[in-house]
Chains A and B, each alone.
Chain A
């Protein structure tokens, strides 16, 4: 079946502009995660959605970052007033939820803020 998809694949934006990154999880997966991968760094957790529960936003670096998940499926990560330090690859993952289940990753969106 189809894997996790993300769009756009690449995004170049000017400093101060808002951007939206989209994630389509695997059908039936109740858990969805966003991670950020800065150059030369590992992946940094941003936010986690599980079913209808309140999301875990503990990894969001500032109030310029927000995310929503509509209908328990598609998720959008929004970055307002982008800064150059926001340049990174943003990866989305989904899983069936629970400790036994693997997280399946999408190909990511490379964001460049000029």
Chain B
């Protein structure tokens, strides 16, 4: 079974600075999807960025980018020019390819709580 590990329970960043959130995962599959989700106090999970394992190029969405290291099974999220609205829980998630052996589901890490200091 796949596992996702986020080793930083809490992080803090100064507004306008850059922060990197870590994520590692374990899988025997060669093709899969990785995601970062943001969960503000409203509880609603919001997709921040996604990466397809077969793509070597790191995904980028505005101020958010990833560092995907497939061999190391590492998938970190970099937030540039941090804003107060970035304060939230961030979850790393893994999704198997289809057809699947484990069903179409997301496997989540335990999350990193990001605080942004004004």
Partner of A50, one of B45, B93, B97, B104: B104
Number of A residues contacting the other chain (C-beta, 8 Å)? 27
Contacts of B33 in A (CB 8 A): 99
Tell me if B71 is interfacial: C-beta within 8 Å of chain A: no
Tell me if B47 is interfacial: C-beta within 8 Å of chain A: yes
Partner of B98, one of A41, A99, A108: A99
Tell me if B80 is interfacial: C-beta within 8 Å of chain A: no
- Docked Cα-Cα span, A98 to B99, in Å, equals 9
- Docked Cα-Cα span, A44 to B109, in Å, equals 9
Tell me if A21 is interfacial: C-beta within 8 Å of chain B: no
A48-B104, A99-B98 are contacts. A41–B110 as well, Cβ < 8 Å?
yes
Contacts of B97 in A (CB 8 A): 99
Residue of A whose beta carbon sits closest to that of B96? A99
A42-B4, A42-B91, A99-B98 are contacts. A91–B108 as well, Cβ < 8 Å?
no
Instruction: Determine whether the beta carbon of B91 is less than 8 Å from that of A43.
Output: yes
Partner of A99, one of B4, B6, B95, B107: B95
Number of B residues contacting the other chain (C-beta, 8 Å)? 25
Work out how many contacts link A and B, with CB atoms closer than 8 A.
Answer: 59
Partner of B44, one of A42, A59, A99, A108: A108
Contacts of B107 in A (CB 8 A): 45
Instruction: Determine whether the beta carbon of A105 is less than 8 Å from that of B45.
Output: yes
Instruction: Determine whether the beta carbon of B47 is less than 8 Å from that of A33.
Output: no
Contacts of A97 in B (CB 8 A): 104
Contacts of A98 in B (CB 8 A): 98
1/0 per residue B79-117: CB within 8 Å of A?
000000000000101010110001111111111000000
1/0 per residue A71-114: CB within 8 Å of B?
00000000000000000010101000111001101111010000
- Can you name 8 A-B residue pairings with CB atoms under 8 Å? A41-B110, A43-B106, A43-B108, A44-B108, A99-B95, A105-B45, A107-B42, A107-B44
